[in-house]
Structure 1
Amino acid sequence: MLEDATITCPYCWESIPLELDLSVGSQTYIEDCSVCCRPIVVSLRVDDEGGFEVDGRTEDE
């Protein structure tokens, strides 16, 4: 179950498109910004009804 989402890079403030795999459930992983190439910590929270929230932060937050 793939969903498209957009987050804002916490380094360069550009909008970054993500493709999220909701079938894995809630997770935290690192994805490099497609603009500035810095590592974004992506937090994905999936609820029981299939809804989700995603955000990105720097490694030291």
Structure 2
Amino acid sequence: MQNTAEFFCAYCGEPNLTFVDLSAGRLQSYVEDCQVCCRPNILYISIDAETADIEIATEYEE
């Protein structure tokens, strides 16, 4: 099962959409390039088990 969620680029601050695989676990992390500036962001994804709300934090990839 997949869902989309929005995150803001750690470099340029622009909003991006990403697909989140809800079946991959409650806590996930992976690298995704910004759709605007093409720089890599580390996404830390937290999914609420009861409501399936998705929260995304971003960080620069060094």
Q: TM-score, normalised by structure 2?
A: 0.81
1:31 deviates by: 0.4
1:4 deviates by: 1.1
How many corresponding residue pairs? Answer: 60
Computed over aligned residues only, the root mean square deviation of the Cα atoms, in angstroms, reads 1.4
Contact 2:28 2:46 survives alignment (8 Å)? yes
Range 41-50 or range 23-32, more displaced: 41-50
Q: Distance in 2 between matches of 1:13 and 1:24?
A: 27
Structure 2: 5+ residue stretches without partners: none
Q: Which amino acid aligns with 1:39?
A: P
1:8-49 residue CA offsets vs partner (Å, 9 max, x unmatched): 101111111111111101211100111111110001112332
Aligned to 2:55: 53
Aligned to 1:41: 42
Identity among equivalent pairs (%): 40
Structure 1: 5+ residue stretches without partners: none
Q: TM-score, normalised by structure 1?
A: 0.82
Aligned to 1:27: 28
